[in-house]
Amino acid sequence: MGRIITSVKIENITDQDAKIRCDALVDTGASYMVLPNAWRDRLGELDEITTVPLETATQEIVEGKICGPVRIQIEGFRPIYNEVLFIDMKPEHGEYEPLIGYVILEQSQIAVDMLGHRLIPVKWMDLK
């Protein structure tokens, strides 16, 4: 199975100078836009909405903080307004690996082409 990495920009909607541009792993097993706690200050003052327990791919239970609202734009697709999930991450080879989850993909009208290992636009949203 291949990995899909894409560029994404996350901005604080009340302070457009507070933003992050990074490459993120598309993870359809995750729900939110997941960022490392170490980057939290880069987005300025955000409302801390709630703290949630999370189960990782290794079945470890960790705690995350949902904050927002933010503007999220995956390169080549329309921007959306949503929340981000901050968790403690360990950098691999000195770099963090943010995640783009399925809620963000669906809201951005993005589908995952697993054969082509790429993101493709969804022509219409479901109402059923």
Say whether domain 5-121 belongs to CATH 3.20.20.70: no
62 forms beta bridges with: 54
Place of tokens 């933010």: 70
pLDDT one digit per residue (tens) for the chain, 128 residues: 579 999 999 999 999 899 999 999 999 999 999 999 999 999 999 999 999 999 988 899 999 999 999 999 999 999 999 999 999 999 999 999 999 999 999 999 999 998 999 999 999 888 87
Of residues 57, 65, 67, the one with CA closest to residue 18: 67
Query: What does the alpha-carbon distance between residue 34 and residue 12 come to, in Å, rounded to a whole number?
Result: 15
pLDDT at 97: 96
- The answer to whether the predicted template modeling score (pTM) of the entire model surpasses 0.85 is yes
pLDDT at 1: 57
Q: How far is CA 86 from CA 1, 27, 49, 76, in A?
A: 26, 15, 11, 24
